[in-house]
Chains A and B, each alone.
Chain A
Amino acid sequence: MSGRARLALVLVVVALALGPLFLTPVPPSEWAPELWGSSFGEPRGWALTLRELTPLLIGGVAVWLALRAGLFNIGAEGQMLVGACATGAVALAPAFPGQLPLAIGAGVLAGALWALPAGALRTFRGGHEVISCIMLNQLAFLLTGWLVKGPMKDPNAGGATTKMLDESLRWAPIAKFGRAELDWALPLGLALMVGLWYWRKHRVGGYELEAVGTNATAARFAGIPAEMVPFRAFAMSGGLAGLAGALLVVADQNRFYDGMTSGKGFDSLGVALLAGANPLALAPSALLFAALNAATTGMNQIGIPKGLSGLMLGGLILLFASASQRKDNAHE
């Protein structure tokens, strides 16, 4: 691709992300400080950014893992949602010992199970995982929506939401900086990211994943079970996405409500794409997406519609995707 074409894309994306700001009656002297203040500039901004960061980081880890095996886990949104729903269901059951770990385990399991059909169809039937993931996402929206409007609904609440979790089932923050709260979910996400890095570099499974993702035929001739690797990768990816949903319930919202993942699974694909080949880049990548989400949430309060985040994140994804473009096809 020529430099001019790349420049054109950059200009279009900048225009898409910033142009709409000038359509509002809100002057730049108001939205510019808000853009910075509600992401990094002020303590309340850090609070918002930190809240957004953890699910995007763990979701990014999930999608990245599948991406290395050459699979697009566009179903992370649905897996997160069923994970959160399952965690909520177990955590809201009558109290029993070991409820919290079991609730989180249920979330992981639900996420993995929700990814399984896509992995199985890809492995055993050759069906494209993106198509099955889209179907599974839609089914996840409908299923969790029905559950939280029906059997799981808090009878005293107006909207589609469950009751709040019992105090003992919530993850208390480990530190507070003013209004910013740090809970255990973020260190866990960072640990998962480093673990993924180690696994890929130093474990057989990680090597096989990389080999199959790079060249499945060569991997098969090297004796790697090339059929099973994508299947396993998809199950792991789904489990991690389920975990992101589970932590959203126990560490952040302390309840489940309709559509609570609000596109975080889709944003995770952007996080994973931006990180490129290095899993340790997932943290700064997730931070960027989290900050943009926080900034647009803050700007929504002064009258700038929230849709700006879709324009900004979608534009960013296009920029990374064009920069890290696949090498020119030999046929061209």
Chain B
Amino acid sequence: MNEFVTFFTNTLSLAVPLVLAGFGGLLSERSGVMNIALEGKLLVGACAAAVVGALTGNPYLGMVAALVASTVLSLAHAELTQRYRMDHIVAGMALNLIAIGATNYVSKLEQFSQTLSGVVRVPQVVLASIIVVLIAVVMAVILRGRGGLHLWAVGEDPVKARLVGLNPVAIRYLALLGTGLFCGLGGTWIMANASGFTDGMTAGRGFIALAALVLVGWRPLPLLAACLVFGAVQSLQLVFQGVPIMGTVWPSEVWAAMPYAVTLLALAGFAGSTKPPAGLGVQ
């Protein structure tokens, strides 16, 4: 019984950053901006939460810093793809490089690396309530509200959306603002479950979220389910650590590889349609 409780709490805890990054990616990609920089946005969020939290001793200031840092990176993404009309993939890749570099640089600076041991964490209850409310609001807007319709329209066909009076660029900026906030919260959550900032501590969560997004064909409710399943897989990895299944102990890498392998199979057409928004990556 106790194991089940641990399994479920672990699953929820591991799924939260995936859900957040996944919904960040959903907003961005549904508006037509291809987003391979979710990983970088989570990473700067986690780093900002750690550094500012440790420097001020106030976890909420850390959370605000995380939101600001991720949002700045996300709005830079909007600026580069919309104003500078840069290729979405190139921009995303460069932003990931910058995020990895910047977080390594900041966390290794002498004046910070000392204080970084004194990590302060936002209580999970507080974070979790913010996250639940936020996801519910976004879900309602996307599924029922006019905003969701606009978002879909801009992502499917920006030219026709403009003809009916929408402003695709403005909607994409708003969508990426949302991406930044979600990823900042995701980074805060990751820090709230860690003992300190380390290089690459997001460990591919941004890419797993992207995988989930592709897997479910960019739909919000299935996305939530996919992120929970991927969280459960990570949680199973903890359960079966060193425990043999069918006579052999599976290496942890097998569990970690599952989301990526499943997504590749889905792309190959083994799991129904994974049709992207028609205007994805279109200027």
Residues of A within 8 A of B (CB): 1, 5, 9, 16, 20, 23-25, 72, 74, 117, 121, 125, 127-128, 130-132, 134-136, 138-139, 142-143, 145-146, 150, 263, 266, 269-270, 273, 303, 305-315, 317-318, 321-322, 325-326, 328-329, 331-332
Given contacts A127-B268, A134-B207, A139-B261, contact A318 B80 (CB under 8 A): yes
Interface residues on B, range: 35 or more
Q: Are A139 and B260 in contact (CB under 8 A)?
A: yes
Which of B80, B100, B211 is close to A310, meaning CB atoms less than 8 Å apart?
B100
A residues near B211, Cβ cutoff 8 Å: 134-135
Quote the shortest CB–CB distance from B110 to chain A (angstroms).
6
B residues near A24, Cβ cutoff 8 Å: 109-110
Q: Are B93 and A310 in contact (CB under 8 A)?
A: no
18 CB < 8 A contacts A-B? A20-B102, A20-B105, A24-B109, A117-B268, A134-B207, A135-B260, A135-B263, A138-B204, A139-B257, A139-B260, A139-B264, A142-B260, A311-B98, A317-B97, A318-B80, A318-B86, A325-B85, A332-B283
B36 sits at the interface (CB 8 A) = yes
The complex places the Cα of A326 from the Cα of B283 at a distance, in Å, of 10
Quote the shortest CB–CB distance from B253 to chain A (angstroms).
4
State the main secondary structure of chain B at its contact with A.
helix
The complex places the Cα of A25 from the Cα of B114 at a distance, in Å, of 14
Which of B86, B89, B96 is close to A72, meaning CB atoms less than 8 Å apart?
B89
Closest B residue to A317 using CB positions: B94
The complex places the Cα of A5 from the Cα of B82 at a distance, in Å, of 12
The complex places the Cα of A177 from the Cα of B267 at a distance, in Å, of 51
A residues near B95, Cβ cutoff 8 Å: 314
Give me 15 other A-B pairs in contact (C-beta within 8 A), A117-B264, A135-B207, A307-B104 excluded. A24-B109, A125-B269, A130-B89, A142-B256, A145-B253, A305-B104, A305-B108, A307-B105, A308-B101, A309-B101, A310-B100, A315-B98, A318-B80, A321-B86, A322-B84
B251 sits at the interface (CB 8 A) = yes
Q: Are A132 and B267 in contact (CB under 8 A)?
A: yes
Q: Are A331 and B94 in contact (CB under 8 A)?
A: no
The complex places the Cα of A302 from the Cα of B214 at a distance, in Å, of 44
B179 sits at the interface (CB 8 A) = no
Closest A residue to B34 using CB positions: A130
Q: Are B36 and A321 in contact (CB under 8 A)?
A: no
Q: Are B204 and A130 in contact (CB under 8 A)?
A: no
Quote the shortest CB–CB distance from B215 to chain A (angstroms).
10
The complex places the Cα of A132 from the Cα of B214 at a distance, in Å, of 10
Q: Are A127 and B93 in contact (CB under 8 A)?
A: no
Q: Are B97 and A314 in contact (CB under 8 A)?
A: yes
